[in-house]
Amino acid sequence: MVKICCIGAGYVGGPTMAVIALKCPDVEVVVVDISEARIAGWNSDRLPIYEPGLDDVVKRCRGRNLFFSTDVERYVGEADVVFVSVNTPTKTRGLGAGKAADLTYWESAARMIADVSRSDKIVVEKSTVPVKTAEAIEKILAHNGRGVRYQILSNPKFLAEGTAVRDLFAPDRVLIGGRETPEGQAAVKVLKGVYARWVPEDRIITTNLWSAELSKLAANAFLAQRISSVNAISALCEATGADVAEVACSIGKDSRIGPRFLSASVGFGGSCFQKDILNLVYICECYGLPEVAEYWRQVIGINDYQKSRFVNRVVSSMFNTVAGKKVAVLGFAFKKDTGDTRETPAIDVCRGLLGDKAVVSIYDPQVTEEQVRRDLAMRKVAVTTDAYEAARDAHAVCILTEWEDFRSLDYRRMYDVMQKPAFVFDGRNIVDPEKLRDIGFIVYAIGKPLDQWLKDMPAVA
Ligand code: NAD
Ligand code: UDX
């Protein structure tokens, strides 16, 4: 039986390996990371990431066939299959800064694999990487290989945070790309054998390496494009009196379009969409395809527009100034059921409000005060432990994450402790505007027909 080691104990490496260990009890799975704090977290009762269902999976196999360690070199050396699930953020400096993927961590992991390997290995790209990364990795390994043979596979992850365990248990598909040589195909078969323990065969797709690498970027670009499309329509709905939920429902009934991923919002966030589209844009530019690059860049353009449109709406509705006014922000994570704040729209919205001198008070059920302060670069904000405290004496409530609990808050209780006129700006369309209007609120909800008040105070985009 194969021995598996995964480099990178993050949002992808941790849950993916835990599920492989659960489904393959006879396979030893070791997750390694250079971060001692992360590994200590995985070995404790308080896992370093919040993900529904994950605690249970980890408890069932940790210490049995699932291990977390900082002894990176030892476990990489012993493994037959090495997954690389390190972070690949957007480059902030040098060539391609602001767009290209930073492969520093990937390259250093590859060099370390070459240094410590004494037996042949299958190296699996789990991180999202630019097309043709496998070729670069092959070169690094081949030039430092000392006779060890490597096969590189691309096996991108399609899990979404908040539903990672569910996605891993029943994936829409597992994608494995490999070289079209006998050795490459043999490696594909080994990895396929691992997934086939619980994933139906017809859901395991095998392709060439470049298709697999590009499919990951393309899938995220398509998903993000749907959100930008519906968000663009939401602006038109507000201008015309149409309701974006009704439009989304109507177009989603067309089986060619489908109903999912059509919720208008304050904007998409998360560690993947923006990073992967920028990466796609950069690759298109490198291959001399500026029109294609521009097409995808616009998906991010609309997302930025949507976030600033929201801030403008808040400020213009409140007599064009929020200076000195308390604004309660409900939700800071980039989506519900996660504590992750990477690229969350809440960062841009809070920065916009703070830029207009608002007094911002934030509540999120999973995001720590420390994290909020880090994300907002220590700017002066209050972080509360409940929604009502955030709303006390506030002029407005902004809902920025679609936490289920926010649907059932006692909005009358909130109204009673707020300044008047009291506003609700729903960036996730989770409250019933009519019910809130009955309480007395002035309500703005993305893409919904506007109150007379809001019509009288048009926002400048
Ligand atoms: P993450 O930042 O949560 O985790 C990466 C981990 O790798 C960190 O703990 C870091 O300490 C570790 N690391 C970096 N260099 C290392 C090295 N040389 N040796 C050992 N450990 C090292 O990142 P993530 O969210 O898990 O994402 C990982 C990759 O998967 C990225 O390429 C991302 O684009 C992709 N991805 C992420 C998601 C998601 O939902 N977060 C989904 C699909 C794909
Ligand atoms: C995404 C992809 O869905 C996943 O397949 C990939 O592996 C990683 O990137 P993730 O970023 O975890 O997953 O979450 P996702 O559910 O895709 O949401 C991304 C952002 O889009 C969130 O901010 C979410 O609130 C927003 N969103 C999603 C909308 O605004 N409207 C929608 O209809 C759906």
Where residue 380 falls among pLDDT bands split at 50, 70, 90? confident
pLDDT at 132: 85
**What does the pLDDT look like over 154-201, one tens digit per residue?**
999 999 999 999 999 999 999 999 999 999 999 999 999 999 999 999
13 is in an annotated binding site: yes
Task: Give the number of whichever ligand sits closest to the CA of residue 269.
Answer: 2
Where residue 460 falls among pLDDT bands split at 50, 70, 90? low
Ligand 2 midpoint to CA 437 (Å): 30
pLDDT at 26: 95
Please give the Cα distance from 278 to 101 (Å, whole number). Answer: 8
**What does the pLDDT look like over 330-350, one tens digit per residue?**
999 999 999 999 999 999 999
Residues with CB under 6 A from ligand 2: 157-161, 220, 223, 227, 261-263, 265, 268-270, 272-273, 334-335
pLDDT at 461: 55
Reduce the DSSP state of residue 31 to 3 states and report it: strand
pLDDT at 61: 97
Pocket test for ligand 2, best of 272, 274, 336 (most atoms within 8 A of CB): 272
Structure tokens at 265: 């919002």
- With a threshold of 0.85, tell me whether the complex ipTM lies above it: yes
Task: Give the number of whichever ligand sits closest to the CA of residue 227.
Answer: 2
Ligand 2 midpoint to CA 141 (Å): 34
Edge to edge, the sheet with strand 66-69 lists: 66-69, 28-32, 3-7, 81-84, 121-125, 150-154, 174-178, 204-208
pLDDT at 348: 98
Structure tokens at 228: 């930008």
Measured between alpha carbons, how far is residue 300 from residues 195, 242, 251, 269, 336 in Å?
34, 24, 22, 10, 21
Q: Which are the catalytic amino acids?
A: 272
pTM of the complete model: 0.95
Task: Give the number of whichever ligand sits closest to the CA of residue 403.
Answer: 2
**What does the pLDDT look like over 112-165, one tens digit per residue?**
999 999 999 999 999 888 888 888 889 999 888 788 999 999 999 999 999 999
Ligand 2 midpoint to CA 160 (Å): 7
pLDDT at 444: 97
Ligand 2 midpoint to CA 172 (Å): 15
pLDDT at 35: 97
Please give the Cα distance from 131 to 14 (Å, whole number). Answer: 24
Nearest CA to ligand 2 atom 31: 263
Q: Domains, the chain, ranges and CATH?
A: 3-199 (3.40.50.720), 302-456 (3.40.50.720)
**What does the pLDDT look like over 270-286, one tens digit per residue?**
999 999 999 999 999 99
Helix ranges, 152-196 (H)? 164-169, 182-195
Residues with CB under 6 A from ligand 1: 7-13, 32-35, 38, 72, 85-88, 105, 108-109, 127-128, 157, 159, 161, 271-272
Q: Which of 346, 222, 217, 338 is nearest to 272 (CA)?
A: 217
Ligand 1 midpoint to CA 311 (Å): 31
What SS3 string covers 324-389?
CCEEEEECCCCCCCCCCCCCCHHHHHHHHHHHCCCEEEEECCCCCHHHHHHHCCCCCCEECCCHHH
Q: Do 322 and 356 form a contact (C-beta atoms < 8 A)?
A: yes
What is the torsional sign of CA 220, 5, 45, 368?
Answer: negative
**What does the pLDDT look like over 237-259, one tens digit per residue?**
999 999 999 999 999 999 999 99
For the packed helices 290-317 and 209-240, what is the interaxial angle rounded to 10 degrees? Answer: 40
Identify the H or E element spanning 27. Answer: none
Q: Do 369 and 318 form a contact (C-beta atoms < 8 A)?
A: no
Structure tokens at 146: 């000392």
Measured between alpha carbons, how far is residue 143 from residues 138, 139, 179, 442 in Å?
8, 6, 18, 66
273 is in an annotated binding site: yes
